[in-house]
């Protein structure tokens, strides 16, 4: 649990529970998943916790083809823009492939990239 300490954040039960759940699942999670898994905390507290984690780069947003925003744990602060996400069509989970670096694309002049989201869709090892 030194992720909180590492990010310079105070420990609260909610923060520890949220991080613990991300570590346990190992996949991208939506606010609703956390709400369901951690009924001891109300939605506002969970929203605030997610926002704090985003601010401190403990989490990053994962854009998949669903309508809801998902978040995933950032193992290191600087990896978060550059890796690929994988969505499984069978179990519907989205995973960070932190070791797969997204290719850098060259754009026409005067385009400045702030974010890059690369989603691969297919079948994960568990469903294979």
Residues contributing to the site for Zn ion (CB under 5 A): 72, 88, 90-91, 96, 124, 126-127
If the CB atoms of residues 41 and 53 are measured against Zn ion, the closer one turns out to be 53
If the CB atoms of residues 51 and 127 are measured against Zn ion, the closer one turns out to be 127
- Among the listed residues 114, 40, 112, the one whose alpha carbon sits nearest the alpha carbon of residue 81: 114
Q: How far is the CB of 75 from Zn ion (least distance, A)?
A: 9
Q: How far is the CB of 62 from Zn ion (least distance, A)?
A: 6
If the CB atoms of residues 23 and 91 are measured against Zn ion, the closer one turns out to be 91
Q: How far is the CB of 32 from Zn ion (least distance, A)?
A: 19
Token pair 């179990």 is found at 91
Residue 17 in contact with residue 36, Cβ under 8 Å?
no
């Amino acid at each position: 649990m030194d992720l909180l300490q590492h990010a310079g954040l105070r420990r609260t039960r909610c923060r520890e529970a949220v991080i613990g759940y991300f570590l346990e699942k190992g996949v991208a999670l939506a606010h609703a998943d956390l709400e369901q898994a951690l009924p001891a905390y109300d939605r506002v507290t969970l929203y605030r916790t997610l926002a704090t984690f985003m601010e401190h780069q403990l989490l990053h947003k994962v854009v998949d083809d669903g309508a809801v925003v998902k978040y995933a744990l950032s193992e290191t602060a600087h990896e978060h823009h550059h890796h690929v996400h994988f969505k499984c069509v069978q179990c519907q989970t989205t995973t960070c492939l932190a070791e797969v670096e997204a290719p850098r694309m060259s754009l026409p002049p005067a385009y400045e990239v702030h974010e890059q989201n690369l989603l691969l869709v297919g079948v994960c090892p568990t469903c294979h």
